[in-house]
Amino acid sequence: MRQQVKVIKTQRDYDAAIARLSALMDEDVTPGSSKEAELELLALVIESYEHSKVEPVVLDPIEAILFRMDQLGLKKVDLVPYMGSLPKVSEVLARKRPLNLAMIRKLHQGLGVPADVLLAQTDDAVDLDEALPYDTAKFPFKEMFARGYFEGFNGTLREAKDKTEELIRRFMRGFNLQPIHQARLRAPMHQSGSRLMDEYALLTWHVAVLKKARQLKLKSAFVKGSLTEERLRELARLSRFEQGPRLAQEFLADMGIALVFEEHFSKTYLDGAAMFDGDLPVVALTLRHDRLDNFWFALLHELVHIQRHLGPDRWFIADNLEDKVHQQTQEEREADDGARDILIPQAEWLASGLTVEPTMEAAMALADKLRIHPTIVAGRVRHQTGNWRLLSSIKADVRRLFADQLQVTRPELG
């Protein structure tokens, strides 16, 4: 008579199931019969009960390393290439220092220690056989640490460097960007002279900017074609107000465009960038020149890029506005000319008399006529003439208006 197989809940149920399983295994069970089905089902419920009662085996990476050392006849000194130094080897094997991802990767690839064992006590889901799309050693790590980019990490810089791969991975999580993508500029971007922009500094800045943009709550989605010349001129007229740059951020948010600020990295000379994050247009400025006229020109320059140059195959343009080589490209000339004409139309500039006699009165008159801040006119005069002392009393700064949004570096901890 076929017996009904029940879920095992007690030790008594378990003992009965084991007895019945033994009895069935002693019989000559016909394949495909009801007894064979009963036997298979019994085996499943018994296994399930045993798993619920038996503590899972905790895989121990140190034991695995010691076992592999014994197999290969290795000494501590032989692990230096995998861990960095003999003191580190001693500390790891004595369980006084945790394995980091760099060590784990080398131990797996070099000594064949199973990846699942090495990663058993970490929170990182990592495929150790998959090559990283970037070189963690090339990131501006010290500056990233100082800016507090490694959210949730509260150790010292020295401790952070010991977890470089983990921290870089977490920083990059959610961003499918690689250094090579940053180089998709129609002309290479230069820092100064003939040196090219540091790809990894640009990549890091790009990710930091997108993180800020994703935190903004914009009032509406961007509508393609809405960034018209008239809208840009309307934006430029906000410059006449004391809080004009802050108003510009709100103006663009209403259009579904994110305007964010992030310091440039040392030894780079980045003014800003225009980009898309999916369907979200983003303008990012560094404000490395604390001048109001520079702010408005850089802002309009990037918006012209969004208006005319960005698209499905062109989603990121970075700018060093002093890079003479880069300025020779067609799109940079268009962005320069577009920004200049939005702020001060060429006909108005020529009619002002400033090209002949750049006086304070003429500058103020033109600013009043165009309803823009006088420093924009003074900046145009200085740029056109190359004489940065002209109209020097007309000036204004801008960084103070965004002190709450610019990155504040922290001192090294410990």
List Cβ neighbours of 264 (8 Å cut-off, separation of 6 or more). 205, 270, 271, 286, 288
Confidence bin at 183 (pLDDT 50/70/90): very low
pLDDT one-digit tens code per residue, 85-109: 999 999 999 999 989 888 988 999 8
Per-residue pLDDT, 201:
92
Nearest to 296 by CA among 248, 348, 349: 248
Residue 184 banded pLDDT, cuts 50, 70, 90: very low
262 and 161 part of one domain: yes
pLDDT confidence band for 55 (50 / 70 / 90): low
| pLDDT above 90: percentage of residues in the chain | 57
Q: Does a structural domain hold residue 125?
A: no
Give the contacts of 245 (CB within 8 A, at least 6 positions apart). Answer: 239, 292, 295, 296, 398, 401, 402
For 2-13, letters b (16+ CB in 10 Å) and e give eeebeebeeeee
Q: What are phi and psi of 149, to 5 degrees?
A: -70, -20
**pLDDT tens string 392-409:** 899 899 999 999 988 655
316 and 392 share a domain? yes
Domain that holds residue 75: 61-118
Better-predicted residue by pLDDT, 131 or 181:
131
Q: Tell me the pLDDT tens digit for each residue of 307-324.
A: 999 988 888 998 887 777
Task: Answer yes or no: is 157 within a domain.
Answer: yes
**Structure confidence at residue 185 (pLDDT):** 45
| Alpha-helix residue ranges (DSSP H) falling in 132-266 | 141-146, 157-161, 164-172, 179-182, 199-215, 229-236, 244-254
Same domain for 80 and 166, yes or no, is: no
Identify whether the C-beta of residue 308 lies closer than 8 Å to the C-beta of residue 317.
no
Residue 338, in any domain of the structure: yes
Pairing of strands 272-277, 280-285: antiparallel
Residues 300 and 366 in one domain: yes
Say yes or no: 162 and 108 in one domain: no
Joined together, the tokens standing for residue 30 give 């016909």
Q: Which of the 8 DSSP states describes residue 243? A: T
Query: pLDDT tier at 414 (50, 70, 90 boundaries)?
Result: very low
For residue 255, pLDDT beyond 50: yes
Tally of domains within the chain? 3
Model's pTM, two decimal places? 0.78
One domain, residues 68 and 149: no
Pair of tokens at residue 15: 């003992």
> Is 3 among the domain residues?
no
**Could you tell me if residue 4 is inside a domain?**
no
Q: Is the dihedral of CA 91, 94, 99, 105 positive or negative?
A: positive
Whether residue 6 is contained in a domain is answered as: no
* Residue 242 pLDDT > 50: yes
Asked if the structure places residue 34 within a domain, the reply is: yes
Q: What is the pLDDT of residue 47?
A: 85
Rounded mean pLDDT of 287-311? 95
Backbone angles phi, psi at 190, to 5 degrees: -105, 155
pLDDT digits (tens, 9 = 90+) for 257-277: 999 999 999 888 889 999 999
- The pLDDT tens digits of the residues spanning 116-167 come to 888 876 766 677 777 788 899 999 999 999 999 999 999 999 999 999 999 9
Residues 373, 291 share a domain: yes
pLDDT above 90: residue 286: yes
Please state, in angstroms and rounded to a whole number, the distance separating the CA atoms of residues 141 and 196.
Answer: 19
Q: Which of 118, 147, 167 is the C-terminal boundary of a domain? A: 118
pLDDT value at residue 1: 46
105 and 219 assigned to the same domain: no
- Token pair belonging to 385: 């003439």
Answer yes or no: do 193 and 82 share one domain: no
Q: Tell me: pLDDT of 182 over 70.
A: no
Higher per-residue pLDDT: 24 or 107: 107
**Pair (40, 68) in one structural domain:** no
Count CB-CB contacts under 10 A for residue 172. 19
Residue 180 has pLDDT above 90, yes or no: no
Contacts of 352 (CB under 8 A, 6+ apart): 362, 365, 366
Position 41 confidence tier, pLDDT thresholds 50, 70, 90: confident
Residue 89 shares a structural domain with residue 185: no
Q: Please write the tens of the pLDDT for every residue from 189-241.
A: 555 554 677 889 999 999 999 999 999 989 889 999 999 999 999 999 999 99
- Answer whether residue 40 shows pLDDT above 70: yes
Q: DSSP letter string over 374-395?
A: HHHHHHHHHHHHS-TTTTTT--
Closest CA relative to residue 269, chosen from 334, 340, 190: 190
C-beta atoms surrounding 307 within 10 Å: 21
pLDDT tens-digit profile of 317-345?
988 877 776 667 899 999 999 999 999 99
pLDDT at 367: 95
Containing 340, the helix (H) or strand (E) segment is helix 330-343
Residue count (the chain): 414
Tell me, yes or no, whether 206 lies in a domain: yes
Would you state the pLDDT for residue 192? 55
What mean pLDDT is reported for the chain?
Answer: 87
Q: Specify whether 207 is located in the same domain as 157.
A: yes
Q: Which residues pair with 314 in a beta bridge?
A: 311
Closest Cα partner for 370 from 355, 384, 391, 349? 349
